[in-house]
A and B are shown apart, each in its own frame.
Chain A
Amino acid sequence: MAPLSDPSCHPGAGDVALPADRPNAEITPIVALVGPPNSGKSTLFNQLTGLRQKVANYPGVTVEKHIGTARLPDHRALQLVDLPGTNGFAARSMDERVTRDVLEGRVRGLRAPDALVLIVDSTRLETQLMLVEPTLKLGIPTLLVLNMADELEQRGGAVRDDDLAEQLGVNVVRTNARAGDGLDQIRDFLIGVADRGLLPPRPGPALSNIVTGTPLPMVDQFTERRRRIQEIGRAAGFVLPRGSQLTEQLDGLFLHRIWGPLIFLAVVVLVFQSIFTWAVPLMDGVQILVAGSGAWMAEWLPESWIRALLIDGVWAGVGSVVVFLPQILVLFLFLGLLEDSGYMARAAVIADRTMYRVGLQGRAFLPLLSGYACAIPAILAARTVEDERDRLATIFVTPFMTCSARLPVYALLIAAFIPERQLVGPFLGTRAATLLGLYILGALTAIATAALLRRTLLRGQRDSFFMELPPYRIPSVRSIALRLYDRSRIFLRRAGTIILAVAIVLWFLTQVPQSGGAPPSIDDSFIGQMGQMIEPVLRPLGFDWTIGVGLISALAAREVIIGTMGTLYRVEDPTQGSLQLQDALRSHLDLGAAVGLLVFFAFALQCMSTVAVMRRETAGWKWPILQFSYMLTLAYGFAFFANWLI
């Protein structure tokens, strides 16, 4: 079973180790990275700490503080805190509150920072500098980093760093964080921070967009600040760069009235078709490796219960899941390209009217999209949604988005039950279309549920949506490769922990009670008896007890069901030469029940980690329990309907 509080789908999605957990001797200065969204804080953080927090080309990727250690050239260490981006200190949304609380020193176990690195996108310096004034009010050493300086220069913009530094009274450096340029100057600043050591404890400052106690209304305070920033910009010779030519041209296409939505559709179809076509040669390769290793083990291990455990339990269980790694990677390759290029924000704009009609915030679209990878980071990402009722509606419907753990289950069942035929020439086959249909089913249910919630439990007014569209950038090979590598590690780690453990336990449960030293038939084994107890509940859906056991084991994580079926069917029929899970499934399910099982997976909240994160993000059991029951009811109802219909 997955550790409940561990959002195991996503690297760095969970709580972070706070320095307070460590011995006192290691207390080191804390430097916080602050700045507007999508200015490159996490990229810089990763460069300085060697960690790999998620980065992408849209605002709102980081929604939690992350702490890492930066080693200086002289081997001293500093704690760096990467913070969610913020445009101001009104702290309307949860992620902005995280940033404010860290800066004000109000987080338990984390001292207020001893220095700040303020990172801004230098191509739109004046807007970004609006954050400088309130930040400097904190009165701690600050370094201003003009990031994306390469883009500023390429597009004919300019600023004199020295004059800017003099005007603002802070040190200024230029960087291109993606390429790692300018990092040495940041390290110089960090050396200075380490030399000074910890700041003495001080009364907690309060951050705010506005100065209270002045007669000026908020708008005028902003215009005043803006006037001062513009003066500073003028004195520092700031020249606004030309608009990005590439962005101009691509937007002309991707946001075109007719081409835009068509391209959107084509991109989606391409992704699904690729999952079934590109991934096939890779899957065959993995399959050969898995089958070969199984045959090798079978040959070399002496006949004993250990051999049976390793081959019928572990190899059949874990191996059945591992073969789906290539499909997961194809999905993440596309997600990575879409996120890093800047297309995602455009997709959000195209979909915004639909979101508006159902009453969801447009801002909810990006968290929902990230739900295609895993619901857990998506639920966290909903922190960027400002209105609390909007946020609750968003996280409630997030698990309907088809997460990558469902993909292997879908792929297996579709390959077993849907014959491949061309639908739209070579562009779309029946299998890809079925997969696409399941994704659409999830998305439509999410939208319908959101509309229902906004008219019942979570009524509220509509917001004034706007979204920043970042310039298009060419995704770096390194960044995409790292994502795929991290994703493979997560997938294989799950296969090596949860799925392995389930396979071992299951195998033992198939071997007892023994009679006369021989294992029982699978129907008489403990697991068989347990399964038959729940079978009456699942009969109306066309599922037998093996599927029932699979569904229960899938509560740990959805793809576990494949491992479970692999182990159970192997024990049932050890003559299976290779991983012929598809054949075994066909003898246990008819088409109606198979469609029912697909639909069940589309709807059911088969993931305890998601339930745990829901509890944490809603501070109570009410929402997770409601969500679990609602999704289970839908799953059961629609699976019943599918089985009855077909």
Chain B
Amino acid sequence: MRPIQSASHDPTATEPHLVDIRLREVVELVRINLPTDQMEPLLERGLLPGCQLCQVRQSPSGDPIVMVDGTLLAIRREVARCLCVRRPGSNGA
């Protein structure tokens, strides 16, 4: 999967986005760059700042499938580009 230049989506952020992370790497969700109404359903399903998530595979069309707290969620890469994450052990906000 090609890495996306995350900076173009959120010039203030230095964190990687979910699309930049390798398969199977466990990361922590830092922030969701989506309007509130689009964010709320994600929050309800446990995809909220502080949670651990891991992209377990890609769908045939290249969209990420992530595991959050025992739930498999298929999300679109457009959404994955809005999820700022942090690798464990890295310093940051």
Contacts and interface: CB of A to CB of B under 8 A. Distances in A.
A504 B39 CA distance: 58
A386 B37 CA distance: 11
Contacts of A243: 56, 67, 70
Contacts of B57: 251-252, 255
A251 B38 CA distance: 27
Given A219-B32, A252-B57, A255-B65, A88 B40 contact: yes
B40 A90 contact: yes
Contact of A256 (B48, B51, B60, B63): B60
Given A219-B32, A469-B65, A87 B44 contact: yes
A468 B72 CA distance: 6
B70 A466 contact: no
B61 interface: yes
Interface string A252-272: 100111101100000000000
Nearest to A387: B37
B61 to A, nearest CB: 4
A88 to B, nearest CB: 4
A469 to B, nearest CB: 4
Interface residues of B, number: 38
Chain B CB within 10 Å, residue with most, of A90, A125, A470? A90
B7 interface: no
Contacts of B5: none
B43 interface: yes
Interface string A68-100: 000000000000000000011010100000000
A356 interface: yes
Given A130-B46, A352-B59, A353-B63, A469 B73 contact: yes
A219 B70 contact: no
A169 B32 CA distance: 33
B50 interface: yes
B60 A466 contact: no
Contacts of A345: 74
A133 interface: no
A240 B39 CA distance: 25
A536 to B, nearest CB: 50
Contact of B41 (A226, A252, A362, A466): A466
Interface stretch (B9-17, B75-83, B85-93): B75-83
A466 B46 contact: no
B42 interface: yes
A465 B48 contact: no
B65 A353 contact: no
A15 interface: no
Given A126-B46, A127-B71, A226-B51, A350 B60 contact: yes
B40 A352 contact: no
Contacts of B3: none
Contacts of B60: 255-258, 260-261, 350
Given A241-B70, A466-B74, A350 B46 contact: no
Nearest to B36: A218
B58 interface: yes
Contact of B79 (A257, A465, A470): A465
A247 interface: yes
B22 interface: no
Contacts of B69: 124, 126-127, 240
A464 interface: yes
Contacts of B21: none
A226 B52 CA distance: 13
Contact of A247 (B34, B38, B59, B72): B72
Interface in A447-485: 462-471
A352 B46 contact: no
Contacts of A247: 72
Contacts of B42: 464, 466
Contact of B34 (A251, A252, A464): A464
B14 to A, nearest CB: 20
Given A218-B36, A353-B63, 8 more contacts: A126-B70, A227-B50, A240-B69, A247-B72, A248-B56, A255-B59, A464-B75, A466-B79
**For the complex of A and B, 7 pairs with smallest distance between CB atoms:** A127-B46, A124-B70, A87-B44, A88-B44, A469-B72, A353-B61, A466-B75
29 contacts: A88-B44, A92-B41, A126-B69, A130-B44, A209-B40, A218-B39, A219-B39, A222-B44, A223-B50, A226-B46, A255-B57, A255-B65, A257-B58, A260-B59, A345-B74, A349-B59, A352-B59, A352-B74, A386-B41, A462-B78, A464-B38, A464-B75, A464-B79, A465-B75, A466-B73, A466-B79, A467-B74, A468-B45, A469-B72
